[in-house]
Structures are given as structure tokens and as C-alpha cells.
């Protein structure tokens, strides 16, 4: 008897829900679809960005926990720059695919000037650790050490110059991102999606 009642109730709700009021409304200048539920409440339907869900982090001690929190805070600060850098890298690759090398270098140089005008001041204010996290974000996504990304876009001389500058700050730009070398950094980068798709492709 209970099964029959349950089936009847399910069918009733299915029929009732199909007759729910639907429409569109404007919120903050954007158009969203909505439905009116059984209680008369209006429910707005909206697509949300991807959300990263992970299990609770386990740390060996409080120092590791502090390092994770600090890295995660810094990663949130540099995340927009990593997304933009990866987007621009792919744009350059796509735009210069059929160009001669000289023209491609001029194109990259022009784009570099635009980025420098927009980002030089905020990037100059990054700490050593923030800079490291930004570089590792980009290297991890592109699967290429920063040195070779620079060399590909700006040439060997520029790559050598920044490689030398990197060493002064304790960064080896030829090393690249090495999973497992810093497991706290691995945990933090797992929480941030900097893929080209998320950058707006």
C-alpha cells in the first residue's frame, strides 16, 4: 500500500511541477530564467562558475597549516594575473601561428608593451613568495618552465636576462613546476583553475 501511495505522490508532483510557472526576469541588468515553486516562491536559475571541492587538508604541524594559509592567500592575490598571462600566451600562439619569426616577435613585443603598461605597477609590488606562486601557476598550466615561455615569446637574450634576475630572487626559471617538490604548494595550486578555458576561451 505504501508503494502505491508513494508512486501516486511522485506522479502528482511530477505533473504539478510540469505546470509550474516559468519565465525570465532582469536582475542587475542581466536576464535570468525563473520558476515558481510549490510554495509560491520564485527561484532564479543561474549558471555558476566551476567550484573546486576538496577533502579537508591534513598537515603535519601548525607550521605547515600556516604555510598553506599564507600560500593560499597569496595565490588568490596573483590568480587574476596568472589567468591573464595564460590567456595572452595562447592568444599570441594562435595569432602568430602562420607568421614569420620576425613578425611574430614584433607582435609579441607590442603585446608585451600593452601588458607592461597595464600590469607593471601591481606586479612590482608582489613579494618574492607571491612572484614564485604566480610563476608556478603559469608553469603548471603550460607544462613549460618560465624560461622557455619567455624565450618562445621574446627570444633567447630576454630569457637569459630574466633567468639571471630570477636567480637573484632565488628562482630557477629553467626548472619549471615540479609536482611533489613542495606538497603545500601542490595543495594550493589544486584549488585554482587557471586553464585557458576559464580565462575566457
Q: What is the mean predicted confidence (pLDDT) over 15-36?
A: 63
- Considering the domain boundaries, does residue 68 fall inside one? no
pTM of the model: 0.65
User: Please, what is the average pLDDT of the chain?
Assistant: 76
- Residue 188: per-residue pLDDT: 93
Q: 87: burial class by Cβ within 10 Å (0-12, 13-18, 19+)?
A: middle
Give the domain range for residue 139. 101-196
pLDDT the model gives residue 37: 62
Per-residue confidence (pLDDT) for residue 103, from 0 to 100:
75
The answer to the question of residue 151 being in a domain is: yes
pLDDT average, residue stretch 159-163: 86
26 domain residue, yes or no: no
Neighbours of 61 (CB within 10 A): 8
The total number of structural domains in the chain stands at: 1
Residue 58: pLDDT over 50 = yes
Domain annotation covers residue 187: yes
C-alpha cell at position 140: 603548471
- pLDDT for residue 14 is more than 90: no
Average pLDDT over residues 145-174: 84
* pLDDT band at residue 165 under the 50/70/90 scheme: confident
* 20 is a domain residue: no
Q: What is the pLDDT of residues 81-98, one digit of tens each?
A: 888 888 878 877 777 777
Extended strands (E) in 13-70: 22-27, 30-36, 42-44
Asked whether residue 63 is assigned to any structural domain, the reply reads no
Residue 181: CB atoms within 10 A of its CB come to: 10
The residue-averaged pLDDT of 78-83 equals: 90
So what's the pLDDT on residue 2? 46
**148 within domain boundaries:** yes
Identify the residue with better confidence: 173 or 52: 173
Domain assignment of residue 183, yes or no: yes
Residues composing the chain: 201
Q: What would you report as the CA-atom Rg of the chain, rounded to the nearest whole angstrom?
A: 25
Amino acid at each position: 500500500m505504501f508503494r502505491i501511495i508513494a508512486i501516486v505522490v511522485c506522479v502528482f508532483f511530477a505533473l504539478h511541477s510540469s505546470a509550474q510557472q516559468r519565465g525570465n526576469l532582469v536582475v542587475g541588468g542581466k536576464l535570468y530564467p525563473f520558476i515558481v515553486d510549490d510554495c509560491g516562491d520564485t527561484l532564479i536559475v543561474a549558471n555558476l562558475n566551476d567550484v573546486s571541492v576538496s577533502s579537508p587538508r591534513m598537515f603535519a604541524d601548525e607550521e605547515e597549516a600556516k604555510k598553506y594559509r599564507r600560500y593560499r592567500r597569496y595565490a588568490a592575490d596573483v590568480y587574476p594575473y596568472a589567468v591573464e598571462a595564460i590567456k595572452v600566451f595562447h592568444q599570441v600562439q594562435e595569432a602568430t601561428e602562420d607568421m614569420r619569426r620576425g613578425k611574430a616577435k614584433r607582435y609579441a613585443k607590442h603585446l608585451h608593451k600593452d601588458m607592461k603598461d597595464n600590469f607593471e605597477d601591481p606586479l612590482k609590488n608582489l613579494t618574492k613568495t607571491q612572484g614564485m606562486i604566480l610563476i608556478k601557476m603559469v608553469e603548471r598550466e603550460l607544462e613549460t618552465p618560465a624560461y622557455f615561455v619567455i624565450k618562445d615569446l621574446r627570444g633567447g637574450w630576454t630569457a637569459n636576462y630574466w633567468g639571471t634576475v630570477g636567480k637573484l630572487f632565488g628562482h630557477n626559471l629553467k626548472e619549471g613546476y615540479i609536482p611533489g617538490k613542495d606538497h603545500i604548494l601542490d595543495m594550493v595550486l589544486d584549488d585554482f583553475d587557471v586553464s585557458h578555458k576559464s580565462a575566457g576561451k
